[in-house]
Amino acid sequence: MSRVYNFSAGPAALPREVLEQAQAEMLDWQGTGMSVMEMSHRGKAFVSIAEDATTRLRRLLGVPDNYSVLFLQGGAAGQFAGVPLNLMGSNPRGDYVVTGNWGKKAIKEAGKYGDPHKAASAEDTNFTTIPARDSWDVRDDAAFLHYTPNETIQGVEFHDTPDVGDVPLVADMSSNFLSRPVDIEKFGVIYAGAQKNAGPAGITMVIVRNDLMGKPQSGCPMILDYQQQADADSMLNTPSCYAWYICGLTFAWLEKQGGLDAIETINKRKAAKLYDFIDASDFYTNPVDPAVRSRMNVPFLLADDALNADFLTKAEEAGLSTLKGHRSVGGMRASIYNAMPEAGVDALVDFMADFEKTHG
């Protein structure tokens, strides 16, 4: 069976090399006579897997020693609660910049645990822009400022890290994590669900500055307590062992590509190919302000919505899978994460051009 080009927003495509290595090691991981899925998380074999993955992630991102790297469960949505529960222990004020659906969900969840404040919102533009930094209403005494560097649904991305002074910056990086270099020291907390660029669904990476741990709200569950998880090496309970293993393979694959500088160059090139084609077309449009277009998630509309179903059917027949846009936005969406090869973007552009010729 030939593999399709999978443009799913998540769970998303994984590198073929990673899948092939996992396949080869499925029944017997490095002579242990068992699958990673069967190992005790306390055993020497899995501990070595976890330590290797953690070391590789630290190396890829240049994580300083005064930050902890956690591999947790509950998805990024779990961290919508985890962030306020850990950072609002002595100060209930959390500021939020809302640039799409995930930012809306994050601030709503935070309302259960403190006093979240909408410092800025792009809802008045249907989340097709990012409010200018000088328009943000950031409280000097806020416990943190939370934002979403890339909104998966709307296709809006910050291309620079916002300066918020001494207020700890918190980022839900789920959909552009590991797609480019990041200056970790500009952040208090970074969290990301694995299922876009790092591995399969079921595990979430949290990178937290150590001085922000150890002061949670009294009602914080132990499973969400950053300090307890750091002290237990992310193993307060049985972790998502297989997902952690696949993440480690993906980190190794990224290193083989040349690291985050190299993958960013590729991602820029892939996105430019698709956006340049859309912008040159009278048949396709992208609704997002060009200055803040996402490199990871490219929404686009056809000139006639009545053609959407035919476009999707023919795309699937051509081996281009999962291009339907989110129900709240409509149209199409091509998610072109790290594992999407340039050949996949080329194939999509060629298909779109042919479809325009016959239907435009």
Q: Which residues are catalytic?
A: 102, 172, 196
Peptide bond into 181 cis (omega under 30): no
> Is 185 exposed, middle or buried, given 0-12, 13-18 or 19+ CB atoms closer than 10 A?
exposed
Q: Taking a C-beta distance cutoff of 8 angstroms, is the pair 192, 172 a contact? A: yes
CA 220 to CA 85: how far, in whole Å?
6
Q: What is the DSSP track for 291-329?
A: GGB-SSEEEEEES-GGGHHHHHHHHHHTTEE--BPPTTT
Place of tokens 């476009």: 311
Pairing status of strand 332-335 against strand 150-151: unpaired
DSSP 197: T
Give strand ranges (E) for the chain. Answer: 5-6, 67-72, 93-98, 115-121, 144-147, 150-151, 156-157, 169-172, 189-193, 204-209, 284-285, 297-302, 320-321, 332-335
CA 152 to CA 174: how far, in whole Å?
9
Q: Which residues pair with 319 in a beta bridge?
A: none
CA distances to 27, 195, 288 from 202, rounded to whole Å, are: 21, 8, 30
Place of tokens 């850990």: 86
